[in-house]
């Protein structure tokens, strides 16, 4: 469930940020060539995730997530724990 919610938050964030989610896959990188998030956009996504799911991988994971899949995986681990 948490994973689906996270997916919905990412989609809403992209819509708000005016970024296309057409070619989005779990492998899409968050930075650089992928979604090209800068620090402020990543911070915005992290608080949106935190507001909906209570925790977020940008704040809690040891390393910053690199791909869309890294974000989803964080919630898979969290919800199975």
Partner 1 sequence: MILLLERAAAEAPDHPAVVTGEGTTTYGELRTAARRVAGGLVAQGVTRFAMVEPDATRIVQLLAGAALVGSEPCQYQADMAPAEFAAQAESLGHDVVVTRRTDLVGPFRVVDPDELAGAEPDTRPGPGEAQPLLIRTTGTTGVPKAARHDWSILGRTVATVSPRPQQRWLLAYGPHQFAGLQVIQHVLASRATLVAPFPRQPRDGVDALLAEGVTCVSATPTYWRFLLAEARSRGVALPALEQATLGGEASPADLLEELRATFPGVRVSQVYASTEFGSVASVRDGRPGLDAAVLHGEANPTSHLRVHDGELWVRAGAGMLGYADASTEAADPADADGEWRRTGDLVEVVDGRVLFRGRTSEVINVGGVKVHPLPVEERISALDSVAAARVFGRANRLTGAIVAVEVVPLGGADDADLDRLREQIRDAVADLPRAWQPRSVAFVDSIQTRGDKTVRRVEA
Give residues in contact with partner 1 (CB under 8 A).
16, 29-34, 36, 38-40, 42-44, 46-48, 51, 58-59, 63-64, 66
Question: Quick one: 65 or 80, whose CB is closer to partner 1?
Answer: 65
Query: Minimum CB separation from partner 1 for residue 49, in Å?
Result: 11
Query: Minimum CB separation from partner 1 for residue 1, in Å?
Result: 22
Tokens representing 36?
A: 């090209």
Contact 48, 13 (CB under 8 A): yes
Give the three-class secondary structure for 38: coil
Distance between CA atoms of residues 22 and 2, nearest Å: 22
Query: Minimum CB separation from partner 1 for residue 79, in Å?
Result: 21
Tokens representing 72?
A: 């989803």
């Amino acid at each position: 469930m948490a994973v689906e919610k996270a997916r919905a938050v990412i989609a809403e964030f992209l819509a708000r940020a005016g970024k296309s989610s057409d070619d989005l896959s779990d492998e899409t990188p968050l930075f650089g060539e992928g979604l090209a998030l800068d620090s402020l956009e990543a911070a915005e996504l992290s608080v949106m995730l935190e507001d909906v799911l209570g925790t977020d991988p940008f704040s809690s994971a040891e390393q910053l997530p690199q791909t869309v899949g890294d974000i989803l995986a964080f919630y898979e681990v969290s919800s199975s724990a």
